[in-house]
Amino acid sequence: MTPTIELDGLSVRFRGRTILDDLRGTLKGRATGLLGPNGAGKTTLIHTLLGFHPASSGTARIFGRDIRTEAKAVRAALGYMPERDSFIHGDTCIHFVSMMAELSGLPPDAALERAHEALFYVGLGEARYRTLDTYSLGMKQLAKLAQAIVHAPRLLFLDEPTNGLDPPARARMLELIREIRDGGETHIMLSSHLLRDVEESCDEILILKDGRVRAMLDLEAERRANRRFFELELRGATERFGTALESLGCEYAFTNNLQGNLQNATPNNSNGNTQNNIAASLETGTRLKLVLPENIEIADLYRIAADQHIQIRRLNHKRDSLEDIFLKAMEDSG
C-alpha cells in the first residue's frame, strides 16, 4: 500500500528563519489530523505540499510522487479548502465551483455538471445560483468544501473547516468529512485547533511544534493499547491494596492519597476542625490509575479489595484522550 504522505527531511526557510525543520515520517491513514499551537508550521506544511512554497531542503512524496520533481502530477491529485475566504465579489456559487473545477483540469461541460453534483452533495443545491456575498458563514464554508471536492481529489486538505460555525453547522461539516473519508476514494488531512473535531474525524495525527514533528501516531492503535487502563476510587487501607496489585504485576499510581489527607487531620488541631477534615478526606477517597496485565481480570481487583475490606467506589475504563496526547507532545522536549 502506497503511503499517503512521506516526509523526507522536509525543511522550509523564509528570510533566514526556519519554519519547518527536518520533518520526517510516513502517514498512511484515511484521515490525518494536523495539530499544533499557533506558529507551529501547520499552514506552511499544507502550502508546501500544495506547491505554494518551495522546500529549502529535503522533500515530501504524496502517493509516491515527489513534490519537487513531479509537482504538476501531485497538484492534480489534491483538493484544498483554505481557512480564509477567497471569493470573487458578485460571483454566484455555481459559477465559482465550476470555475474551480475547470482550473483543476475538467473540461467546461464536465466542470459544470460536477459543480451541480458537488453543491447538492454539501447541501447548497437550492442556493447554488445565489451570489456568495449573500451566503451565511456556514454556507460559505460548504461552498469552499464543494470546490475542494468537485474534481474528486485523492487527497483533500481542510484548513480549519469548522472555524466559526454554530453547533448544527459544525455537526453537518463533520458528518460530510466522515462521509468523504469513509467513501474510500479520498484521503484527508484536517488542520484544526479543535481537538474534538480531529478526534471525531481522524484515525491518525501529526503534531507539530516550533516547526518540528512532536508526535505522529495511529489513534486507533493508541486506543487499543490503552484498553487495559483503568481509574479507581477507593476507600480503606489503600497501601496494602497497592502492594497486592504490585504482586500481580500491575502498574499503578495513586493520584489523591487519602492517608496523606488523614495525617493532616491531627488530634492536636486546636480549631476543632479535625472531624471535618477526616470526613472530607473520606468523602474524597483515594484515586488510583492502573494498567492491568493481560492475565489479570477486573474480578481479581474486587476479590483483593474484598479480602482487605477495601471499598471500590468507582471504576472507569480510561484511555488517553487526544487532549492528553497533545499536551504531552507540547511538554516533550524532543
pLDDT tens, 286-315? Answer: 888 888 877 788 888 888 888 888 888 888
Sign of the Cα torsion 211, 212, 218, 222 reads negative
Distance between CA atoms of residues 72 and 70, nearest Å: 6
Q: Could you tell me the CA-to-CA distances from 326 to 28, 141, 215, 280 in Å, in that order? A: 20, 26, 8, 34
Task: Identify the pLDDT of residue 333.
Answer: 55
Task: Identify the pLDDT of residue 283.
Answer: 42
Q: Could you tell me the CA-to-CA distances from 220 to 11, 27, 63, 217, 223 in Å, in that order? A: 29, 14, 22, 9, 5
Alpha helix (H) ranges present in the chain?
A: 42-50, 71-76, 93-103, 108-122, 137-149, 167-182, 195-201, 219-225, 238-247, 258-264, 274-284, 298-307, 322-331
Topology of domain 5-224 in CATH is Rossmann fold (3.40.50)
Task: Identify the pLDDT of residue 256.
Answer: 57
Task: Identify the pLDDT of residue 232.
Answer: 85
CB-based contact 19:69 (threshold 8 Å): no
Q: Which residues pair with 231 in a beta bridge?
A: 289, 316
Q: Which CATH class, in words, describes the domain spanning 228-318?
A: alpha beta
CB-based contact 18:212 (threshold 8 Å): no
pLDDT digits (tens, 9 = 90+) for 17-30: 999 999 999 999 99
Q: Where are the domains of the chain?
A: 5-224, 228-318
Distance between CA atoms of residues 316 and 239, nearest Å: 20
| Complete edge-to-edge strand list for the sheet that includes strand 187-191 | 78-81, 155-159, 187-191, 31-35, 204-209, 212-218
CB-based contact 139:124 (threshold 8 Å): yes
Report residues of the chain scoring pLDDT below 70.
Answer: 1, 223-228, 237, 256-285, 318-320, 332-334
